[in-house]
Amino acid sequence: MPLGLLGKKLGHTRVYDADGVLVPVTVVLVGPNRVLQVKKTDTDGYNAVQLGFDDQKEQRLSKAVLGHIKKFNGAAVKRIKEFRDFSKDVKPGDVLSADVFEIGQFVDCIGVTKGRGFEGVVGRWSFRGGDMTHGAKGWHRRSGAIGCRLFPGHVNKGMKMPGHMGSVQRTSQNLEIIQVRKDDNILLIKGGFPGSEDDYVIVRESKKIGIGSARHKQIHDARKKAKEVAAGKKVEKKAAAAANKKKK
């Protein structure tokens, strides 16, 4: 994780971007993130930065966690996350906010999906189920046979069956940052990603479309060209309207 922050998902809304286009966004509170520990290769065997988010009462932490935080003169926090190969130069005690990222940057958002409880195969795996007519009885939302007869004589691993659904970590990649509100420590990220409102999430720099990558440059150039084409069409439309008005 070259660059990232811990945050809390606040909800969803819609805003206008720089071009006046209405964009659906997810509102994420990403600060303040406090640097608790900086690990180095010579002392710890690898480079990493530990960040803490959301203040907590000291008595609600275990002695081990509180001792680790106090070792580096940090404040008690609810969530701690370690980011390897952090690209920003920081030291213990530093505070990071939303301005770590910038408008137009692509990020990966990691969250835990909503829990759905015990779910059948139709809801969990979108199975068709049995016929509702023609004499079919008691087989409307079932999976069908799962056995393999004599050989191999057992149910194959990975068989899609009823079971617990949701409450698993998932990553949504390549989401664009529409606005960065530094004073409020808020990011407005285009689209949605896993997690309920008030859930803790991780926002990290995109692994596939990082700043300076060929893909990022390609997207930037394509958008620039599209803007130029749109502006040209607008000028042509105005000129045509003026010419028609002059003829009349």
Domain boundaries, the chain: 117-165, 212-248
Strand partners, 169: 112
Give per-10-residue mean pLDDT for the chain (248 aa).
Answer: 88 88 94 91 92 93 93 90 90 91 93 95 93 88 87 90 95 94 93 93 91 82 81 81 78
pLDDT at 168: 95
Q: Are the C-beta atoms of residues 32 and 54 closer than 8 Å to each other? A: no
pLDDT at 248: 67
191: left (phi over 0), alpha (psi -120 to 50) or beta: left
| CA dihedral of residues 82, 88, 90, 96 (deg, nearest 10) | -80
**Look-up: residue for tokens 């003829």?**
247
Residue 147, token pair as written in the block: 């056995």
> Is the N-terminal amide bond of 92 cis, ω within 30° of 0?
no
pLDDT at 172: 95
pLDDT at 1: 54
> Is the N-terminal amide bond of 32 cis, ω within 30° of 0?
yes
Task: Strands of the chain (E only): list them.
Answer: 4-16, 22-29, 33-39, 48-55, 77-84, 95-96, 106-112, 117-119, 163-165, 169-181, 186-190, 200-205
> What global pTM score does this model have?
0.82
Residue 92, token pair as written in the block: 């213990």
- Please state whether beta strands 48-55 and 77-84 pair in parallel, antiparallel, or not at all (unpaired): antiparallel
